[in-house]
Amino acid sequence: MRTLAVLGSTGSIGTQTLEVLQRNPGLYDVQLLAAGKNWRLLEQQIRLFRPPWAALADEHAARELRARVRDLEVEILAGEEALTDLLASRSFDMAVAGMVGHVGLLPVVAAIQGGANIALANKEVLVMAGHIVTKLCRQKGVHLLTLDSEHSAIFQCLQGHSCKDVQRLILTASGGPFLGKTKAELANITPAQAVKHPNWQMGAKISVDSATLMNKGLEIIEASWLFGIGPENIDVLIHPQSIVHSMVEFSDGAVLAQLGIPSMEVPIQYALSYPGRWPSPDSFFLNWLDLPGLTFSQPDTEAFPCLDLARAAISRGGNAPAVLSTVNDICVEYFLAGKLSFNGIPEVIAHIMSEIPWQENPDLTQILETMERTIQVTRRHIESME
Ligand code: MG
């Protein structure tokens, strides 16, 4: 049995990963479950999977959990440092990276240092530090697999092919819940409306990113690092039905696409079963005769400026994508708390991008400094707007 660490086990990716494992028992031994502060759900997961380690970032929640699981042989780690120490010192066969935003960076780096193959959902890690993470993976000889549905689609289409024969990658985007709205119509969008994604079941942060199209912007940067293809050769098409999960166009004009139902469990399961495949329940199979017409169109970058902001960040390079991703994390936090408007998100991102000094080829320490500084400056800026 291969050993597995699940980072962000109580979130959307974590809980769906554990569901996939429950359907396919005996293939992975879950050894570490790590979460932020949801000790109640983590206790249930510990009782089900019996890992030797569990971790909570929040120390108070960790104390609560420790008291609850005294009857079990599990060591409860408290705080980020205890988690990264364990990840760097134990060699898990695989780590599912299902945390959200910039907080996932250090745990993922530690897991790679420990020698774990990474199944990455936490795309911000590659956006912020793609040059560091991909290099470290090569040095440590670990596989970087992706749980992102579009990138899983591209990875599947590339099997048996060489990236040098690729003309362009085409990332599909559902367009989110506000597809077709004008900028003026987006002015009074509420958090509840933004997190209601039409096709995908996802956590709050990525649902907002999906509504602003920042998710697709981050995905261009993510794809560029994963597949070594320049962002100028990565296009985005709006495909509201979310059946075609992405496509690869080759130099001879042939296009390969991966299709399927819109469920995160499919790419999660593929990463866990790779290079093989596990059988899926009936509900995962496409009913071809019931399919809606599949349509494709250009994204509206005037109503949704985040896509162009992301393209600008990757063409600037250096620490610019780390700034972009971190400001976006903070903006989404304030938007969800009702303290920043929907259209305020791209406005604040554009402003902060011009405020933080640009740095070429930053190392990990400089990325972390950029992150801290961006968080401070963004908070101050949004609070001064109120
Ligand atoms: Mg995606």
How many A from CA of 112 to the centre of ligand 1? 22
CA angle at residue 160 from 264 to 121, to 5 degrees?
25
pLDDT for position 372:
97
Residue 177's pLDDT is 95
- Quickly count: other Cβ atoms within 10 Å of residue 158's Cβ: 18
Report CA(386)–ligand 1 centroid distance (Å). Answer: 32
What is the model's pLDDT at position 106? 97
Distance 160 CA to ligand 1 centre (A): 23
Give distance in angstroms: CA of 121 to centre of ligand 1. 9
Distance 38 CA to ligand 1 centre (A): 25
Q: What's residue 70's pLDDT? A: 97
Could you write out the DSSP letters of every residue in 274-337?
TTS-----GGGS--GGGPPPP--B---TTT-THHHHHHHHHHH-TTHHHHHHHHHHHHHHHHHT
Ligand 1 centre to CA of 123 (Å) is 9
Residue 241 alpha carbon to ligand 1 centre in Å: 14
For 269, the enclosing helix (H) or strand (E) is: helix 265-273
Q: How far is the CA of 242 from the centre of ligand 1 (A)?
A: 10
pLDDT of residue 298: 98
Domains of the chain: 2-146 (3.40.50.720), 175-261+300-385 (1.10.1740.10)
**pTM score:** 0.97
Q: pLDDT of the chain along its 386 residues, tens only?
A: 999 999 999 999 999 999 999 999 999 999 999 999 999 999 999 999 999 999 999 999 999 999 999 999 999 999 999 999 999 999 999 999 999 999 999 999 999 999 999 999 999 999 999 999 999 999 999 999 999 999 999 999 999 999 999 999 999 999 999 999 999 999 999 999 999 988 888 899 999 999 999 999 999 999 999 999 999 999 999 999 999 999 999 999 999 999 999 999 999 999 999 999 999 999 999 999 999 899 999 999 999 999 999 999 999 999 999 999 999 999 999 999 999 999 999 999 999 999 999 999 999 999 999 999 999 999 999 999 97
CA–CA distance, 222 with 217 (Å, rounded to integer):
9
CA of 137 to the centre of ligand 1 (A): 22
DSSP 165: G
Spatial distance between the Cα atoms of 133 and 171, rounded to a whole number of angstroms: 22
> What is the structure's pLDDT at 249?
98
